[in-house]
Amino acid sequence: MSAGFALYRALQLPSQCAVCRSWPSQRLCQHCRATFAAAKTRCPRCALVLTGGSAEPRCPQCLHSALPLAACWAAVDYAYPWSELLARYKFAQETGLGGLLVDLLLHTPGVGPALADLQASDWLLPLPLSPQRLAERGYNQAWELCRLLHRRSRCRAGLSAGLLLRLRHTKAQSELPRDVRLTNVRGAFLVDPLSARQLQARQVMLVDDVMTTGATLAAAATALLEAGARSVSALVIARTPP
């Protein structure tokens, strides 16, 4: 049995819903999917929810000063119950929740076509952790999501955990005020000099679990663009509301 088919079966077989604990169910029951994971109209550049009736295709923040991302997709808002599940996935070694989280992303409008648009010469990359953070946690949650996403979507793009490097350890963005976050991660990322030629004129899709202000993704995207990438987009499980 292939790993992809095994994951598909695990998501379809009777289980306990990770949100409401109903049994038997799937890992995310239909009621919780409809209640907590309904699709929302989001800004195509930063994935913030657009207010009803807005005539602008982007949020006010992106109209004023857009992130260096060609596009960004988020499955859900960073709120209950996803904030709790992501904390368990990220900090409590519950990597088995990755299948559910990737399933949310693959059901997000626009994600499937965006992944299908990537060519074999393009890249699907996780946001890297610093060596210190990786040693503390034991795994990079973004890399785990990236691998699952690559396999389940049958994406043709290259997959690498070492093409984009994190140069220095920084304070957790969640611990800092908004105006400090940009300076905290500025210059924190670098493309591996020995592999930079593989980025020339290529599309890159970054993968991470949570996007708060977008400062970390912006710093990573800037490093990739300066190394020669044609465009950088992002996929995140959850987007923090303003």
CATH number, domain containing residue 117: 3.40.50
Same domain, yes or no: 130 and 107: yes
The 10 Å CB-count burial string (b at 16+, else e) for 170-201 is: beebeebeeeebbebbeebbbbeeeebebbee
Query: Are the beta carbons of 148 and 102 closer than 8 angstroms?
Result: yes
- Residue 206: predicted pLDDT: 98
Same domain, yes or no: 146 and 45: yes
Model confidence at 151: pLDDT above 50: yes
Same domain, yes or no: 25 and 138: no
Model confidence at 124: pLDDT above 90: yes
Same domain, yes or no: 142 and 212: yes
Same domain, yes or no: 61 and 98: yes
Among 67, 192, 189, which residue's Cα sits nearest to residue 128? 189
Number of domains in the chain: 2
CA 142 to chain centre: 7
Start-to-end C-alpha separation, the chain: 44
Same domain, yes or no: 15 and 102: no
Least confident window among 66-80, 159-173, 216-230:
159-173
Q: What's the chain look like in SS3? A: CCHHHHHHHHHHCCECCCCCCCCCECCCCHHHHHHHCCCCCECCCCCCECCCCCCCCCCHHHHHCCCCCCCEEEEEECCCCHHHHHHHHHHCCCHHHHHHHHHHHHCCCCHHHHHHCCCCCCEEEECCCCHHHHHHHCCCHHHHHHHHHHHHHCCCCEECCCCEEECCCCCCHHHCCHHHHHHHHCCCEEECCCCHHHHCCCEEEEEEEEECCCHHHHHHHHHHHHCCCCEEEEEEEEECCC
Model confidence at 25: pLDDT above 80: no
Same domain, yes or no: 80 and 198: yes
Same domain, yes or no: 61 and 143: yes
- Residue 2: predicted pLDDT: 44
Same domain, yes or no: 69 and 157: yes
Same domain, yes or no: 214 and 145: yes
Same domain, yes or no: 58 and 84: yes
Model confidence at 122: pLDDT above 70: yes
Same domain, yes or no: 29 and 115: no
pLDDT confidence tier of residue 6, bands split at 50, 70 and 90: very low
Angle at 69 between CA 68 and CA 71, to 5 degrees: 155
Model confidence at 171: pLDDT above 90: no
Range of the domain at 14: 1-36
Model confidence at 8: pLDDT above 60: no
Whole-number average pLDDT of the chain: 88
